[in-house]
Homo-oligomer: A and B are copies of this chain.
Amino acid sequence: MNKQKYTDRQMRLAGYAKALGNPIRVAIMEFLAQRDTCFFGEIHEQLPIAKATASQHLTALKNAGLIQGEIMPPKVKYCINRENWNEAKQLFGTFFSQCECHKKSCCS
């Protein structure tokens, strides 16, 4: 029974991936990446979903650590969480460089 549990790094990578595993959330992140200030309303305007649903997706991204919210009554400004974004960037970078699939050596 040498079943090894996955590592903390794998957990973190999976967590970020899961957060990005939905086209709406990808669109939100890209929208945030392009603009300096993003109020909820601006974000919601771009999306073909109800306000409540948009709020949920933002909460999911926030819980994953990819964004952060700042309350500016009566608005809420969201922005990318730089620290975690960079961690995710690094994790995915390392992940994808594990297999240099242009070489014939990987996968027969």
Contacts and interface: CB of A to CB of B under 8 A. Distances in A.
Interface string A73-101: 00000011110011011001101101101
Given A30-B10, A46-B4, A107 B88 contact: no
Tallying the copies of this chain within the complex gives 2
A96 B107 contact: no
A98 B21 contact: no
Nearest to A77: B108
A106 interface: yes
A102 B34 CA distance: 14
A37 interface: yes
B23 A10 contact: yes
B33 A6 contact: no
